């Protein structure tokens, strides 16, 4: 199945070509992050279709849009 991926901030360089990623049917948010080589410590917020998703074991559906934001530092 194909999902759209938006990676923000320092993660942007890991965005797949064309902004889409091919995953097996029933793949989870955690599997998407693993396939993109994004460790959990580099993730502050994940949204699926614009809805905040804390549970990374949630299954994705074809055509979902997943946005990943890294922790933001500043001072």
What is the chain's pLDDT, residue by residue, as a tens digit (75 residues)? 999 999 999 999 999 999 999 999 999 999 999 999 999 899 999 999 999 999 999 999 999 999 999 998 655
In terms of CATH, what superfamily is 2-69?
Beta-grasp domain (3.10.20.30)
What is the C-alpha separation between 8 and 4, in angstroms, rounded?
13
Kindly list the domain boundaries of the chain, sorted by start residue: 2-69
47-55, long-range: CB within 8 Å, 24+ apart, which pairs?
Answer: 53/29, 55/29
Query: What is the per-residue pLDDT for 72?
Result: 81
């Amino acid at each position: 199945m194909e999902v759209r991926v938006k990676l923000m901030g320092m993660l942007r360089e890991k965005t797949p070509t064309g902004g889409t990623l091919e995953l097996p049917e029933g793949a989870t948010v955690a599997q998407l992050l693993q396939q993109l080589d994004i460790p959990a410590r580099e993730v502050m917020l994940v949204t699926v279709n614009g809805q905040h998703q804390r549970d990374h074991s949630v299954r994705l559906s074809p055509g979902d849009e997943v946005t990943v934001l890294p922790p933001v530092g500043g001072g």
